[in-house]
Amino acid sequence: MNHGYKNQENKEDIQEYIKIIYKQLEKEFGEVRSPLKYKEPYQFCIAVILSAQCTDEQVNKVTPELFKKFPTIESLANAPIEEIEKVIYSTGFYKNKAKNIKAFCKTLIEKYNKTIPQNIEELLKLPGVGRKTANVILQELYRIPSGIVVDTHVKRLAKVLGLTHQTNPEKIEKDLMNILPQKYWINFSLYLIFIGRSVCTARKRMCEECCLKHICISSSLKRKSK
C-alpha cells in the first residue's frame, strides 16, 4: 500500500493510514493539553499571544512574572505599555505583543464582560488573535475542534508523513481537515508538535526513536528495509 496523501487516490487507504498514525500517537502520548501554563482563561490567551515566534518554554518563564506584576485582567488593561514590554522583552517582538496584550484585555473587559468567546468569528475580533491562535484557544479552553492548529512543527511533519504537499498553513489545515476525522483534530496537532520537538526536529530526524518509525513514509528505517 502506497501511503501518503499526495500520492494516494484511495480514500479508504488514506483513512486507514491516518487511523494507524493516530492510534500509535495516542498510545505514546495519551490525552494531551497545551504545554503553556496558566490559571485563568484570559492568562492562557495572553500566553498564546506571547508564544508567536517564541518557544513555549520561554513563555512559561515569562508569564509567572507578568501575572504576578499584573494579577488581574484590569491591571493589565490599565498597565503602562512600557511596563508590559519590560517583562515580556525576552519573548521577542515585545512591542507589538505588549500592545496586543493591553488591547486584548481592554477589549475583553469592555465588549465581552471578561469572558473568552466560544467561536472563531468573535475571537478573531480580539487584538492579537489570528486563526491559529483562535483554534488553540477554543481547543484548550473549551475542547471545541474548531480546526487544526498548523504551527511550524505541524507544517513540517504533515509533509514528512505524506499528508499534504502544501506549504501555506491555511491550505495545510484544509488538507488535514479533509482527511482527519474531527474527533482527531485537537490531539493530532499536539501530537505532531511533541514529536517535532523531540525526535523529528527540523535539524535531525531520529527515526529509530520515533513511535511512527514503522509507519511514516519518510522513515529512514523503512527505506533501509526495502
Mean pLDDT per segment of 10 residues, for the chain of length 226 residues? 46 85 95 94 98 94 97 97 97 97 98 96 96 94 94 94 93 94 94 94 92 89 55
| HEC per residue, 21-49 | HHHHHHHHHCCCCCCCCCCCHHHHHHHHH
- Catalytic, 56? Answer no
Q: Which helix (H) or strand (E) holds 63?
A: helix 56-69
Domains with residue ranges and CATH for the chain: 5-30+148-225 (1.10.1670.10), 41-142 (1.10.340.30)
Q: What pLDDT score was predicted for residue 10?
A: 66
CA distance 193 to 55: 12
- Catalytic, 159? Answer no
Q: Are 3 and 217 in contact (CB under 8 A)?
A: yes
Count of other CB atoms within 10 angstroms of residue 130:
12
Q: What pLDDT score was predicted for residue 12?
A: 72
Q: How far is CA 111 from the centre of its chain?
A: 26
Selected catalytic residue, list 56, 106, 114, 151: 151
Selected catalytic residue, list 132, 155, 159, 213: 132
CA distance 157 to 150: 10
Residues sharing a CB contact under 8 Å with residue 72, sequence separation 6 or more, in sequence order: none
